[in-house]
Chains A and B, each alone.
Chain A
């Protein structure tokens, strides 16, 4: 032993794995994009072994802050400290080398590669020739210590969102990150998956293995799983506290600046009117030619919201695509208001069928076209905009866009901004505004609130209810049971491409629905 005065080498520090994770601190960080101040003197302190929630509405600067910490973007002011030294990560790889890892909202796994390849690829020092047998056995040994199992040979493309999320987290543990930042980790997960992932992270933090920063706008996640919370609004830190000392109301007021929206309205009790949408024995294949819909039959009446509950990958996405005209059906019939329906532009217009698909930027917008142009995508060739069906009036399109922007509270620099540059919530509002314009007989909505903050969720829900009250038949596909309970009049459960259960929302039990969603009928597991 040479005594305590010898400076610890990086190797020694690296070996001292059992120590607590280092303190992560951001002090007075600022970031400017052109004229827009995205972060204004924001500080964040992540205690070793704690779960720290970063709370804020869309566009509050949460992602910008962690991107600065990860070295994705340079800061324009302020300091970032890890342990007792200042760090200036130039790239995510630098941050990773320092032991800070991030799980992104949009997965960074390579879809065409296997789980094993993806994990090995993330290693900072990959040998020149990769011995796959050895890597694989190393990974298998690592997995035995992990709280959940994954199939190393599965292609990432074939995995559900929940499984991908778990692999992203596994990747961080495999890379021995000590501080793990998660950007809205539960936005793509089912409620039970979310609880499982978060409680696992919480346990690991308690065990002193890692510190966690979790970006979220769900209070339930903050109150159940976090130790401290920092609240951002419009690029500024507006609140900080221990979770036990803050009520959700207090956090909501910090986030919203006091403008908490009123409680959402209860369900209208009115009975469903005439059948608007009738789907009979519809079959369709998925992208690789496997049957995804195996005889779907359902009806939706005027003034009714029918919710489809299903675990991701059970055909609900394909059903929406079939109805929206994005995927051909192999057999079966679809009727709207009693007439045969094929989702062509002419028929969509004639039957007044509208669609609010999942990932609206990808499925319902042209990202590089302006907000105004995107809002006119359904109607620019109608006589009210197009003279002789040929010359489109920009003036009229802009007028309509301005009306919709103010009616739906869409925050955009201008109606001429490319829609792809808007935040997720504002894109969702823009598409909703377009799809609900005028008379709508049938509305297909798929996960309409995915990734939205709670004020936007309440607003989207109110708009859908308002459409229902005007007599629109709404088919709602959602991964969120709470959302289905909040909106639907009837609930259908879809499993393996079929409707396997049907119940009015009054008297529906989540546990029963869950069993059907998991592919077990009620008879498999009778109630005691």
Chain B
């Protein structure tokens, strides 16, 4: 193939590349949310965690010069926000959805406030692997430029499935999410398990945020997330609470998000803003297609507020 790959191949290549680039934040947030929801709670605050993660990751990378330290810092901020959600929800008669919305707005506002001085400076970005080096085609090389953090996410998806299916921790989380009374009868502390699951879930969301600011788009601005944290919650439903399906769903959402840039790359410029709404439209379509008035979703943890 020549350098000027276009036409019939240009679009799919650009879409695949876009999906691989755009999907990582979806992947991390949905893995975190999957873990939290498996324990029987919904954390809508993941959107706020994502933005806080993006801001703090960028800041730490800028100050320390190490983007990976930034990723770690973003995860730690996520743990703090997740723990705050879990603690608030452990109080009697506190609704997890309401707390989540409050934390989402709090996290967003706090990130905008603390992130003001970070809009100008350039922080070191995460590096990536040139998996497309074999190809002489520039679009292919660009598409196969894979970030290490994305690969970590892929590994985490498979690891999380293993944890749910085969390990004591995973089983305990599932029991707590399926039937809190049964869990108590078995002697587990429901609140403690949910605390841990929500805190670790926050870690994932924070790391997802650092991907936004440290790799793609790769800078800190207030419009960075545009609701990806919330869409990841919808994505978990679509993935039927299975981490590996979260990975596939993230790629699908990522691909939808890449439609606009991909069309742009092959020269179609009209309707860019319309194509940018593709992930949101996809959210609607999935919600309608997977819900039924008559039956509950297969795989839905029975303790979720929305399931009861």
Q: Could you tell me which A residues sit within 8 Å of B by CB distance?
A: 91-94, 96, 104, 106, 108-113, 117, 120-122, 126-132, 285, 287-289, 328
> What residues on B are CB-neighbors of A93 within 8 Å?
186-187
Residues of A within 8 A of B171 (CB): 117, 120-121, 126, 130
Interface centre among A112, A120, A122, A131, by most chain B C-beta atoms within 10 angstroms, is A112
Q: Which B residues lie within 8 Å of A127 (CB)?
A: 168
Q: Identify 14 residue pairs between A and B in the complex whose beta-carbon atoms are under 8 Å apart, listed by A's number.
A: A92-B187, A93-B187, A96-B187, A108-B181, A108-B182, A117-B171, A122-B186, A128-B168, A129-B166, A129-B168, A131-B166, A288-B295, A289-B294, A328-B294
Q: Does chain A have a CB within 8 A of B77? A: no
Which has the most chain A C-beta neighbours within 10 Å: B175, B187, B295?
Answer: B187
Known contacts A110-B178, A121-B175; A126/B295 CB under 8 A: no
B76-95 contacts to A, CB under 8 A, are: none
B179 at the binding interface (Cβ < 8 Å): yes
Residue-wise interface mask of B (146-180) relative to A, using a CB-CB cutoff of 8 A (1 in contact, 0 not)? 00000000000000000000111101001100110
Complex Cα distance A309/B143, Å?
Answer: 66
Interface centre among A96, A110, A120, A130 (most CB of B within 10 A): A110
User: Which residues of B sit under 8 angstroms from A112, Cβ to Cβ?
Assistant: 178, 299, 301-302
What residues of chain A lie closer than 8 Å to B174, measured between beta carbons? 110, 113
Q: Assess whether B185 is interfacial by the CB under 8 Å rule.
A: yes
Complex CA distance for A130 and B181, rounded to whole angstroms: 23
5 more CB-based (< 8 A) A-B contacts, given A109-B182, A110-B178: A93-B187, A96-B187, A108-B182, A128-B168, A130-B167
A131-B162 Cα distance, complex, nearest whole Å: 12
In the bound complex, do residue A287 and residue B178 qualify as a contact, i.e. CB atoms below 8 Å apart? no
Among residues of B, the one whose C-beta sits closest to the C-beta of A91 is: B187
- Judge whether B178 and A111 touch: CB under 8 Å: yes
Chain A nearest CB: distance from B189 CB in Å? 9
Residues of chain A within 8 A (CB-CB) of B167 are 128-130
Chain A interface, >50% SS class: loop
Q: Which of A110, A117, A131 contacts B179 (CB 8 A)?
A: A110
Contact: B186 with A289, CB < 8 Å? no
Cβ-closest 10 pairs across A and B: A93-B187, A108-B185, A108-B182, A126-B168, A110-B178, A110-B179, A112-B178, A110-B182, A91-B187, A128-B168
Which residue of chain A has the shortest Cβ distance to B178 in the bound complex? A110
Q: Which residues of B contact A104 (CB under 8 A)?
A: 185
Could you tell me if B166 and A285 are in contact, using CB atoms closer than 8 angstroms? no
Q: Are A111 and B168 in contact (CB under 8 A)?
A: no
The interface residues of chain B lying within 8 Å CB-to-CB of A113 are 174-175, 178
Q: What is the bound-complex CA distance between A113 and B166, given in angstroms?
A: 14
A94 to chain B: closest residue by CB: B187
Closest-CB distance, B38 to chain A (whole angstroms): 11
**Closest Cβ–Cβ distance, residue B163 to chain A (whole Å):** 9
Contacts of A131 in B (CB 8 A): 166
Give B180 Cβ to nearest chain A Cβ, in Å: 10
Which residues of the partner chain B approach A92 to less than 8 Å between Cβ atoms? 184-187
Set of chain B residues within 8 Å of A285, measured between Cβ atoms: 294
A13 to B181, CA, bound (A): 32
How far apart are the CA atoms of A93 and B181 in the complex, in Å?
Answer: 13
* Distance, CA A130 to CA B165, complexed state (A): 8
User: Closest CB of chain B to A283's CB: distance in Å?
Assistant: 14
Nearest-Cβ distance from residue A120 to partner chain B, whole angstroms: 8
Report the minimum CB–CB distance from B190 to chain A (whole Å).
12
User: Which residue of B169, B184, B186, B296 contacts A121 across the interface (Cβ within 8 Å)?
Assistant: B186
Query: Do A110 and B175 have beta carbons less than 8 Å apart?
Result: yes
- Name the A residues within 8 Å of B166 (CB-CB): 129-132
B178 partner residues in chain A, CB cutoff 8 A? 110-113
Contacting residues, chain B, for A117 (C-beta < 8 A): 171
| Chain A residues with CB below 8 A from B187, complex form | 91-94, 96
CB distance from A6 to the nearest CB of B (A): 32
Given contacts A108-B181, A108-B185, A126-B168, contact A287 B295 (CB under 8 A): yes
Asked if A108 and B294 sit within 8 Å, CB to CB, the answer is no
Docked pose: A108 CA to B301 CA in angstroms:
16
Once bound together, how far apart are the Cα atoms of A112 and B296, in whole Å? 12
Partner of B295, one of A121, A122, A289: A289
Q: Within the assembled complex, what's the spacing in Å between the Cα atoms of A110 and B187?
A: 14
The smallest beta-carbon distance between B303 and chain A, in angstroms, is 10
Min C-beta distance of A340 to chain B, whole Å: 23
State whether A287 touches B294 (Cβ < 8 A): yes
What is the bound-complex CA distance between A363 and B299, given in angstroms?
24
Contact between B302 and A111, CB atoms less than 8 A apart: yes
The distance in angstroms between the C-alpha atoms of A328 and B293, with both chains bound, is: 11
Question: A525: shortest Cβ distance to chain B, in Å?
Answer: 37
Pick the contact of B186 from A108, A128, A132, A287 — CB < 8 Å? A108
**Contact partners of A328 in chain B: CB under 8 A:** 294
Q: A284 → chain B, closest Cβ, in Å? A: 10
In the assembled complex, the CB of B255 is this many whole angstroms from the nearest CB of chain A, namely: 31
Q: Which residues of B contact A288 (CB under 8 A)?
A: 295
* Distance between Cα atoms of A110 and B302 in the complex (Å): 9
B37 CB to nearest A CB, Å: 13
